Structure formats: C-alpha cells, structure tokens
Amino acid sequence: MASHRKSRTPGTRVAGIRTPALATAALTSVALLSQTAEAAPGEDRPSLEEVEKKVGDLYRQAESATEKYNAAKEKTGKQRKRVDTLLDDVAKRTQKLNEARSELGSYAAAQYRTGAGMPDTATFLLAETPQDIFDQRQVLDRMTGRQKAAVDDYVTQQTETMKKRQEATESLRTLTETQGDLKTAKAIVQKKLADARELLSKLTAEEKARLAAIEKRKQEEAARKAAELARQQAEQEQAREEAAQQGGGASEGSGSTGSTGSTETPPADSSYGTKAEKAMAFARAQIGKPYVWGATGPGSYDCSGLTQAAWKAAGVSLPRTTYDQVNAGTTVPVSQAQPGDLVFFYDDVTHVGIYIGNGMMIHAPKPGTYVREESIYYDGDSAIHSIVRPA
C-alpha cells in the first residue's frame, strides 16, 4: 500500500503471531496433535512453522472480528442516541398536535352550539393526512382569520409529527440491523477464543519447550531489526543536523533508500512532539494491563482502544477502530517513523501500536497478553502495513 513496504516472499512470514511463547506453544502443539491423529499412517507431520501459522490465523480472525465488533458497537451507540432523540421529539410534537387539535375542537363545538350543522373546523379533525386538509380549500374560504390560523397550526404539527414518526421508524430498523451485526461479531470473537482455550487445555510440556525456543528466536530477530531501524534513524537525524548547521537544510534524498523508505519526510513540528509525549506517557502508564477485546480502559484495552485513549490524553480525537484510525493522519515511511506515530499491521489493518522510537512500540497484543513494549518487527517486517502520524 505504501511505497516503503516490502513485497511478501512466500514462506518467510509466520503470520499473525502476537502471543507470549507459552500461549503460542500451547495452541500450536495441540493443533499439531490434532492433525497427527487424523493423518494417515506414514504421512508426514506438518512442521511447527506450518501449524504455528494456522494458530496465528486463528488469533488474527478473532482480532479482525473484534474490530468489526468495535465498529458495530460504536454505530449502535450513535444509532440508539438518535432513536432516543427522535422518540423524544415525536412525543413533544404529538403533544403540540393534540393541543392544536383541541383548539380546532373548541371551534367545532362552538359551531355546533349555534346550530351550524357540520362545522367547518370539524372537517379538518376528520382528515387523516395533511393533503386531506389542503383539499378542503372551499371550507377554508368560509373561515375566519383565527380559524384559519388554528388550521395552519394543526397542519404544521400533523406534518412534522408524521415526518418524525417515519424517521424514528427507519432509525429503529437500522438500530435492529446494527445490533444484529454486533451480535454476530461478538459470537465470532467468543468462538475463536473458546477454540483457543480448548487447545490450551491439551498442552504438553515437550511441545511447549520446542515452540518456546522458536518464539525466542523470533523475538531475537525482531530486536535485531528494531536496532537496525534505530541506527538508520540516528544517521538520518545526524545528517539533518549537519545540513542545518551548514545552512542548507536537509538535503534532498537524505532519507533511507532501503526497504523501509525511499524519500525524506519533513520532521513533525514541535506541537506534534508535545502531543506525542503525552500520548506515549499515557501508553506507558497502561503497561501491564490486560488485553480485553472491545475494551477502551481504564482497566483493560484492545489494540485500537489503547491508541485511541492514549491520543485522547494528548487532546487528539481518534476514531474507534483500526480501519478508521489508519486514515486519521499522514502516512510516512517506516524509516521516518517518529515517537507517537501509529504502526498498523497486516493487509486487513487489524492491529495497531504506538511507536516510541528505536524500532519499538507499545501495544495491546491480543487476548491472554498484557499491554507491553515490543519491537515493531515482532511478526516480521512484512507484517507492517503502514505508519501514520495522527493529524
């Protein structure tokens, strides 16, 4: 999507693994045991990497469903407020309509008392729609000014009341549909997590150790890549300072031409730095709190709930979901990432963290984990979707 992203090389990525070594080992080993039990005699067992990928996909599906749940929940809340507002408006307008009807009734009663037969104003009380009233033009011609004013008020109140009732009906229908989406997303998340708990219950110590070793090697590689990014960024900063001292500013093309970026992006202004510091301070204060899907704090968070809350503490309002947050700022190359920027992951943009410098971020990884600092390469460099600097 962004120009700095690497092309994906088949077989080099272990997708979607954002679990502690223990949880990853547990899920992977049980999946392996299940496949082995179903395999024909003599058939090769799948590699640990292949099984690990399938387990990672299970977590990513749960995370994707979580973001859909977040979106549906936000939409449901807004729709419910709209319905409540419309129903309150309908009640008020119905009261005014009844008052207007009562005034027309008083004219009709007076005409009955004078023996006028079917009073002119009574025909409007029998009308079912505003159009029925407008069709009685010949009756209007016989009315006094006060009677016409009463009819005008009655027509206005009836028209507005019918309009608001229709809006309320449509909003209630939309609310019902959105609640259905919310229920569906919730069921998907719960099912994925239930599957994970079932797999964990079948963990073996030997497979746990083998998978823990693989996870450790992945973490070491992620740390190495983070250190390399930190070195690149330090070199770029030094080059900018030297150019500034010479009075020429940052030279064109001084940015990285490697896989992490191709052109120089102007550094964020000082006001961004101040806000970013506040966002990062908030995020650091949440380290150790559990990931809970759909949570926005203060006791627990999911990934986008954490980034939204952190930037809110800095006075910046971010949307609720990763799908919307990725569009809430300026995209920059990975090599140009600055503290406070948002790091998004995967083609479906289902995970996000807050960059804190030196190739590291703070994020809420997934169920069963806690908010923590981690390399942005924790799932490989190809997992990075984009870097966004919040507006």
Distance CA 65, CA 195 (A): 14
Residue 83: pLDDT band (50, 70, 90) is confident
Distance CA 9, CA 155 (A): 70
The 3-state secondary structure of 137-201, one letter per residue: HHHHCCCCHHHHHHHHHHHHHHHHHHHHHHHHHHHHHHHHHHHHHHHHHHHHHHHHHHHHHHHHC
Instruction: Please give the model's pTM, rounded to 2 decimal places.
Output: 0.66
Give the Cα-Cα-Cα angle 181, 185, 187 (nearest 5 degrees).
115
Catalytic residue selected from 164, 351, 366, 389: 351
The tokens of 325 are what?
A: 């947050």
At 324 the three-state DSSP class reads helix
- pLDDT tens digits, 303-355: 999 999 999 999 999 999 999 999 999 999 999 999 999 999 999 999 999 99
The tokens of 100 are what?
A: 């207007």
Phi, psi values for residue 143, rounded to 5°: -90, 160
Q: What ranges in the chain are assigned the alpha helix state H?
A: 21-38, 48-113, 120-125, 130-134, 137-140, 145-200, 205-245, 270-285, 303-313, 322-325
Catalytic residue selected from 18, 275, 363, 389: 363
Q: Is 351 considered catalytic here?
A: yes
Q: Which helix (H) or strand (E) holds 331?
A: strand 329-332
- pLDDT tens digits, 356-384: 999 999 999 988 899 999 999 999 999 99
Distance CA 188, CA 194 (A): 10
pLDDT at 14 over 90: no
Catalytic residue selected from 303, 332, 352, 376: 303
Write the DSSP symbol of residue 377. Answer: T
Q: Is 363 considered catalytic here?
A: yes
Distance CA 88, CA 372 (A): 45
Q: Is 269 considered catalytic here?
A: no
